Amino acid sequence: GAVVSQHPSRVICKSGTSVKIECRSLDFQATTMFWYRQFPKKSLMLMATSNEGSKATYEQGVEKDKFLINHASLTLSTLTVTSAHPEDSSFYICSANRDGGYTFGSGTRLTVV
């Protein structure tokens, strides 16, 4: 079945630094990927839709300059949290659609100290 690989699974970074999260579709081409953020005991909130070869579409209230999304190939989308602060600490998860099914990465737990 469709597999989406997300790395790293956990990352701890210092305040002010940037962190890159990768999401790869391993056995299929994903023209569209989705990035979600999840706070503890909360639901998944869509941050942006990543489209291969074009700019990402951000949801209202999401700072595009803070959360940089690059979808340079049909199998790779990256989310970079720039100048991270403690309030950016969260669980980030990507998803790709294949034939109507949404496959999710295993998520990245980001802790900013």
- Binding positions for another protein, rule: CB under 8 A: 31-32, 34, 41-46, 49, 91, 93, 95, 97, 100-107, 109
What's the min distance (Å) between Cβ of 16 and another protein?
A: 26
From residue 41, give the alpha-carbon distance in Å to each of 22, 90, 99, 113: 24, 11, 30, 21
What's the min distance (Å) between Cβ of 53 and another protein?
A: 14
For another protein, which is the closer residue by CB, 29 or 83?
A: 29
> What gap in Å lies between CA 84 and CA 82, rounded to an integer?
5
